[in-house]
Copies of this chain bind each other. A is one copy, B any other.
Amino acid sequence: MDLTQIGKSAKEAEIILRTLETNKKNEALLVTADNLVKDTDKLLAANEKDMENGRANNMPQGLLDRLLLTKERIGQMAVGLRQVAALDDPIGEVLSMKKRPNGLEIGQKRVPLGVVGIIYEARPNVTADAFALCFKTGNAVILKGGSDALYSNIAIVESIRSSLLASGLPETAISLIEDTSRETTTQFMRMNEYVDVLIPRGGAGLIRAVVQNATVPVIETGTGNCHIYVDESADFEMALDIIFNAKTQRIGVCNACESLVVHENIVKKFTPLLAKRLKDKDVEIRGDESVMDAADGIVPASEEDWGTEYLDYIISVKTVADVEEAISHINRYNTGHSEAIITNSYENAEKFLDGVDAAAVYVNASTRFTDGFEFGFGAEIGISTQKLHARGPMGLLALTSTKYIIRGNGQIR
């Protein structure tokens, strides 16, 4: 189908979704979950075609694994849909209705964004996940997945669409752009008439391309060059536990720790303990001179290291004179994602919370908690590293807007 037609039909679906009862939305989500499981064989067959192409194109093992659907993974997709059905519906809530001196009552009502565009890479589970979150919040969704997952995505979208029809709802509440060419993708990013917001989900290159080319407003989900600052007054055991967790629990995620900042008064004593602890996972430590002097086996860090998101068993360590220098180092090299201080000083904790410019700033906890589920949202559409609209982990609320509703009895100006 042509892109304009997809946009138009999504807008039409959105008009119905906008005022759809929560009960009906939840029922449709449960039907969709059941049918995805029933369609398991179809989904596996479609996915096998993508896998064959992937293998033929020498796709790396890591990507093949992300592309793969299994019976269990389809079951997890269904569980995800049921979890979203169980969440509270944010749509329709009226915030802060107040009476003005002239008698007008003015409040803000939570409403859907409209049509949400999602551009993502080769993870077919995003297809069902993104649909569930958008649908629950009354938005139509237009998906542009990667060409590597095309057959899988087509099969998932077909299954969801037949569930929508069976529930008496417009199937164009979800659309998939099957033409994955660069021209079509760019056209999609500029469809301001039909698309209210674009959310790119994927690597840094994809996100940069969307920010550079889109005229539709974008919610930038980003990379994470996350720091942990070990203050002079830190409890060393706590610091080591947190660093070990934030660096090694899962290395490929955006909230993993990539860089340490250590107070100069403790660097001598702390570095050997750090080196010992990180040895368990063979983490390479790249440090400045003070760090290298403090322990054996430290690799010299270059300027480039301070700005690098390794996503690997590597960590950089920088020495600073005080919390102020730690804050300005972090603000210079971070990506605005998650930053932590380990300290026992009230003053330094507050300075750090105030001064560090990031979506999530921690005292005495692992950066790995930056996540919609860990924050208690029950869902996550991504982690925003921009300051507009939504910052940090995004749950259902990030997919809503508000409108002012004003009740009068004849007021004029």
Contacts and interface: CB of A to CB of B under 8 A. Distances in A.
A55 interface: no
Interface in A343-400: 349, 353-355, 357-366, 368-370, 374-376, 386-389, 391-393
A98 interface: yes
Nearest to A351: B19
A7 interface: no
A25 to B, nearest CB: 15
B219 A388 contact: yes
A390 B86 CA distance: 28
Contacts of A358: 403
A196 interface: yes
Contacts of A281: none
A249 interface: yes
A364 B407 contact: yes
Contacts of A22: none
A266 interface: no
B100 A376 contact: yes
A205 to B, nearest CB: 15
B374 A413 contact: yes
Interface string A207-220: 00001100101110
Contact of A359 (B366, B388, B404): B404
Interface string A116-143: 0000000000000000000000000000
A369 B406 contact: yes
A contact face: mostly helix, strand, loop, or mixed? mixed
A155 B353 CA distance: 38
Contacts of A360: 403-406
B369 A411 contact: yes
Interface residues of A, number: 70
A366 B411 contact: yes
A358 B413 CA distance: 20
A203 interface: no
A410 interface: yes
A359 B211 CA distance: 25
A49 interface: no
Contact of A245 (B212, B246, B413): B413
A408 interface: yes
A412 interface: yes
Given A215-B211, A388-B219, A361 B241 contact: no
Contacts of A393: 404
A49 to B, nearest CB: 36
Contacts of A111: 357
A114 interface: yes
A331 B403 CA distance: 14
Interface in A67-105: 98, 100, 104
Contacts of A98: 376
List of 9 A-B pairs having minimum Cβ-Cβ separation, nearest first: A365-B408, A245-B412, A387-B401, A389-B389, A360-B404, A365-B411, A238-B410, A368-B413, A388-B389
Given A349-B407, A369-B406, 15 more contacts: A19-B355, A100-B376, A104-B369, A113-B388, A197-B387, A217-B217, A245-B413, A360-B406, A362-B408, A364-B410, A364-B411, A365-B410, A365-B412, A368-B412, A391-B404
